[in-house]
Amino acid sequence: MKDRKFKTKAIAAALVVLGILIAAGPHTLFHVCTSMTNACHYTGQAEIGVGAVLALLGVFSLFTKSRDQQRGLFLGALLVSVLSLLIVLVLVGVCPNTSMVCNREALPGLTVVGILAVLASLAGIVLQSSRTVDA
């Protein structure tokens, strides 16, 4: 039981960190172009909201004791993580010019962090869905 709780808390903490990276990354680590007319600017703005929601879901999961509620929070985190990937890869994207900073930093950075968030969310769902009875 303690092992499951530790793993759940570790996954939830990872989601908080990944959410913060998604929200703050485009403006600190994974730079987007500064021009407000480029698609990457709007990707950076959208990722602020998506990352904040992901971080909040992770925080809520840290303090929730019910397995069903944690599973639901991890499912929500999975959906938000997929949305993060869709924003950067399909929905908004980055500049078409491959020499721009957003193509070198924001696109790969947000893609990697988004994939890690998807994997962490899936791990949380699987962990909370296993049939081991907590005693």
Distance separating alpha carbons of residues 76 and 57, to the nearest angstrom: 7
Q: What is the mean pLDDT of residues 15-42?
A: 90
Listed in sequence order, the DSSP H helices in the chain are 2-24, 39-63, 67-86, 101, 107-129
Burial 17-46 (b: 16+ CB within 10 A, else e): bbbbbbbbbbeeebbbbeeeebbbbbbbeb
Q: What pTM was estimated for this model as a whole? A: 0.91
Distance CA 46, CA 22 (A): 10
Banded pLDDT at 135 (limits 50, 70, 90): very low
106-124, pLDDT tens digit by residue?
999 999 999 999 999 999 9
The domain spans of the chain are: 2-129
Closest CA to 48 of 73, 1, 76, 80: 80
